[in-house]
Chain A
Amino acid sequence: GAGVSQSPRYKVAKRGQDVALRCDPISGHVSLFWYQQALGQGPEFLTYFQNEAQLDKSGLPSDRFFAERPEGSVSTLKIQRTQQEDSAVYLCASSLDEQGHQPQHFGDGTRLSIL
């Protein structure tokens, strides 16, 4: 498909387990973003990549959260030792340029539930 693809769509994990969420951006898109959306809230920024470089990780809530984009395409968001407060929808978005003039295209998200 031509859109941003995220997998899995749903993930259930027990508290304390590690999880990995995957994002396939639109081909050729330079910028990639991760957001966290709690129930009934707007998305909140987690981290930003320009190609393979992680230029902004100011939104990551703790050192249990780690993101990478090693080849400047697919990105993985990893959460270690999950806690119940990590339950949320995790959204990935990509955009064509790095100047902010092009819109961000969002995936459908991964709904993470921590039991």
Chain B
Amino acid sequence: GDSVTQMEGPVTLSEEAFLTINCTYTATGYPSLFWYVQYPGEGLQLLLKATKADDKGSNKGFEATYRKETTSFHLEKGSVQVSDSAVYFCALSALRGSEKLVFGKGTKLTVNP
């Protein structure tokens, strides 16, 4: 079945450091890929998405590129801020009659000043 594997956390960085959170997926066909973020005490929010191979999703300084050849969708940010501290979830939607999202386990990011 469809699955998402993302790097285990927690990840702790200093402010202005470079961030990479790895995500790989297994799916038949051509899924859409997403990164969701969950800030402390809040609900899940869509951070960015990509719907086809080589698409780059971007938002709030975060980027991720849909790589079909490596089945990956790694999240990157060049300079993290304390306010980026949150749990990040990679997810896919296989779009086969149901748009259900399949999530990874999440990666907790803590950014220290």
A contact residues vs B (CB 8 Å cutoff):
4, 31, 33, 35, 40-45, 48, 55-56, 59, 91, 93, 95, 98-101, 103-109
Contacts and interface: CB of A to CB of B under 8 A. Distances in A.
A59 to B, nearest CB: 7
Interface residues of B, number: 25
Contact of B99 (A4, A91, A100): A100
Given A106-B43, A108-B43, A42 B105 contact: yes
A41 B89 CA distance: 10
A104 B104 contact: no
Contact of B93 (A56, A100, A106): A100
A91 B43 contact: yes
Given A40-B105, A42-B103, A100-B32, A55 B97 contact: yes
Interface of B: 4, 32, 34, 36, 42-46, 49, 51, 89, 91, 93, 95, 97-106
10 contacts: A31-B99, A43-B101, A45-B100, A55-B98, A56-B100, A59-B100, A95-B99, A100-B32, A101-B51, A106-B43
A48 B44 contact: no
Contacts of A99: 95, 99
B100 A48 contact: yes
Contacts of B106: 40-42
A42 B87 CA distance: 10
